[in-house]
Chain A
């Protein structure tokens, strides 16, 4: 693990260039460019607002929906891109020698850059609707855990997809399920009727690391109540496990990449 960190530090120029490349080419030749990072979530928000708030009369503040979608978007982008991190760079993997981990990692970081930019836009929106930044100190932890989670998941998916192309197809379904298991278009408080009856379910719910991470974001940005420290510890713990497992899976599989591609 220390060797890996050294490798990455030694090749930071390459990492920086790959990140810049990924940021650049994502919106290359599209008229609206970076705006798509915003337009995607904005359309999603509009759709959910119409269906859930207007048609289904779901009592949900707009800020919850907006923060949920923007935060979710980062993970969703990573999930969508990471399957192709290695197989989409087959030529490079076969013909050049460099730490392979930089390919998926640079995608995670490039998406993080996009995410931070979209977060800034969201902050502007929140300033308009009345800022609730009392607990903003939680934001760094939320972002760090978010980044670690996206890294772990992306590394595992990018490596597994080299050997099992099923991964890229499963990811779509998996993303959908994960979306609803995460309080993206609802708030944790809205499932309290279930979790107060069965406290164990409340704890299990936070095994989904995104539940804890998104709750932290909402605490930091909307001033929502902090989830119990127990729940937070579970989410952060799972995040660490996913992060480490992602790295281990990737490093275990990477010597065989060139043979498979």
Chain B
């Protein structure tokens, strides 16, 4: 018996984009005018290859629209891949969304049986599972009420209870961890670890990086339908965070200047001198800021600023304030900025750099929010930036 539960080879999924709403005769005519294969095609997935071993858990991460849900749909068989092949071994849970088959006017109990039937279980098989489902969902007397009267939490609890108690060999879960309260999430995680112990295979989507990193054996990082990373959870999550930071800074960054001098790049490194964009609380940070002089200039000033995700300037300074004299510049070179201790709260921060004339009249080159770093911290304080302070009684 093969120990591969899911094998995906060269899978691609193309969608036809349409201006709005469903197809009408008008849009069909418009489609005929537009040549097929035009820019109106969208590959939601392209060249996807991976295998999942039986009993292991694969986490899917990526921004909204990266293709995670499409991938699950293709695996579950609700959508046909445009190209490629998928092989799965064992019964695959075919309910992708918790409570997807629930009808608002039917009672919880009726919906449980309907959902079971959708997933291919007989009434007798569902009857045997009913107690476990009721216990897990923990919604008491509401089970005989129409589900439209349920709170969203009850709805999801019942949905999850059905999905797991149906006991598939392969469980596909889309964003289950985003819903429900903390105690329900703990319950889900516990049920999922039981699942793992039973050598069941799971594919889960979550935006909660911490959780997905801890429950997955492997992580697949998707962006715009392509696999950007696959493998060890810690590594891929780190890769995703870096990618996301770069993405975020490229969206925010702005540069301008007269360009007599241009800033050619900034290399961030940690205590040990290794290049990194991820730092821990209190660690030193070093930036090597490269420049190239196009037209020789006189005395100049280099400056930097750190902003948080909300765009607030956390800290800024320059060589003039620091009383470092930069004589006339020519050729190319670099300046080094050192922050001995990074006193920032956990989060993402954006660095801005500038070089301008000593009299502040000519701005040679300025790059705002061009570089992003992540800060990990368990230092306990309120606010963005830590200020050493002490208390005294009396």
Contact A259 B96 (CB under 8 A): no
Selected contact of B120 from candidates A25, A98, A256, CB within 8 Å: A98
B1-33 interface (Cβ within 8 A of A): 15-16, 21-25, 28
Q: Does B160 contact A (CB under 8 A)?
A: no
Q: Which residues of B contact A17 (CB under 8 A)?
A: 113-114, 117
Q: What 0/1 readout, one digit per residue, does chain A (146-169) give for beta carbons within 8 Å of chain B? A: 000000000000000011111000
Residues in B whose Cβ lies below 8 Å from that of A96: 76, 78, 94-96, 100-101, 118-119
Q: Would you give the 0/1 interface string for A229-261, flagging 1 where the beta carbon is closer than 8 Å to chain B?
A: 000000000000000000000000001101110
| Contact A95–B96 (Cβ < 8 Å) | yes
Q: Which of B92-106 contact A (CB under 8 A)?
A: 94-97, 100-101, 103, 105-106
A interface list, Cβ under 8 A from B: 11, 13-14, 17-18, 21, 24-25, 28-29, 87, 91-98, 162-166, 255-256, 258-260
| Residues of chain B with a CB closer than 8 A to A29's CB | 105
A165 CA / B73 CA spacing, docked (Å): 24
Which residue of chain A has its CB nearest to the CB of B174?
A: A95
Interface string of B117-129 (1 = CB under 8 A from A): 1111111000000
Distance of A226 Cα from B357 Cα, bound (Å) = 105
Q: Are A92 and B105 in contact (CB under 8 A)?
A: no
User: How many angstroms from the CA of A256 to the CA of B15 in the assembled complex?
Assistant: 10
Instruction: Tell me, rounded to whole Å, the shortest Cβ–Cβ distance linking B258 to chain A.
Output: 52
B132 contacts the other chain (Cβ, under 8 Å)? Answer: no
Asked if B79 is at the interface (CB within 8 A of a chain A CB), the reply is yes
Task: Indicate if B110 sits at the interface (CB-CB under 8 A).
Answer: yes
Chain A contacts of B118 at CB under 8 A? 14, 92, 96, 98
Nearest chain A residue, comparing its CB with the CB of B28 = A164
* B105→A28 contact, CB < 8 A: yes
Smallest CB separation, B158 vs chain A (Å): 15
Q: Are the CB atoms of B114 and A21 closer together than 8 Å?
A: yes
The verdict on B80 contacting chain A, using a C-beta distance below 8 Å, is yes
Task: Report 6 cross-chain contacts, Cβ distance below 8 Å, ordered by A residue.
Answer: A17-B117, A21-B110, A94-B100, A95-B97, A256-B80, A260-B23
By a CB distance below 8 angstroms, the chain A residues around B119 are 96
Chain B residues, CB < 8 A from A166:
24-25
Contacts of B123 in A (CB 8 A): 13
B73 touching A94 by the CB < 8 A rule? yes
A sample of 13 more A-B contacts (CB under 8 A), given A13-B117, A24-B105, A98-B120, is A11-B117, A13-B123, A14-B114, A21-B106, A25-B103, A92-B118, A94-B96, A96-B94, A163-B23, A164-B22, A164-B24, A258-B73, A258-B79
Query: Smallest Cβ distance from B312 to chain A, in angstroms?
Result: 41
B94, B97, B105: the one contacting A97 at CB < 8 Å is B94
Residues of B close to A259: CB separation below 8 A: 15-16, 79
Known: A13-B117, A259-B15. A95 touches B100 (CB 8 A): yes
Report B388 CB to chain A, min CB distance, Å.
54
CB < 8 Å: which of A92, A98, A165 contacts B22?
A165
Partner of A164, one of B16, B23, B95, B101: B23
Interface residue B316 (Cβ < 8 Å from any Cβ of A): no
In the bound complex, how far is the Cα of B123 from the Cα of A165, in angstroms?
A: 36
A24 to B73, CA, bound (A): 30
With contacts A21-B110, A21-B114 taken as known, whether A93 is within 8 angstroms of B78 at the C-beta atoms is yes
Q: How near does chain B come to A251, taking the closest CB pair, in angstroms? A: 13
Q: Judge if B90 is at the interface, Cβ distance under 8 Å.
A: no
Complex contacts, A165 vs chain B, CB 8 Å: 21-24
A14 and B105 alpha carbons, distance in the complex (Å): 18
Give 4 closest A-B pairs by Cβ, nearest first: A97-B94, A95-B100, A14-B117, A95-B96
Are A92 and B24 touching (Cβ within 8 A)? no
In the complex, the answer to whether A255 meets B105 with C-beta atoms within 8 Å is no
Q: Does B77 contact A (CB under 8 A)?
A: yes
Given contacts A25-B103, A92-B100, A164-B23, contact A97 B114 (CB under 8 A): no
Instruction: Tell me, in angstroms, the Cα distance from A25 to B15 when the chains sit together.
Output: 34
Tell me the smallest distance from the CB of A189 to a CB of chain B, in Å: 40
What 0/1 readout, one digit per residue, does chain B (349-379) give for beta carbons within 8 Å of chain A?
0000000000000000000000000000000
Known: A11-B120, A92-B118, A258-B73. A98 touches B94 (CB 8 A): yes
Q: Cβ of A25 and Cβ of B78 under 8 Å apart?
A: no
| Interface flags, B65-97, vs A, CB<8A=1, else 0 | 000000001001111100000000000001111
CA distance A64 to B392 in the complex (A): 101
Interchain CA distance A163-B21 in the complex, whole Å? 11
CA distance A98 to B105 in the complex (A): 22
How far, in Å, is A18 (CB) from chain B's closest CB? Answer: 8
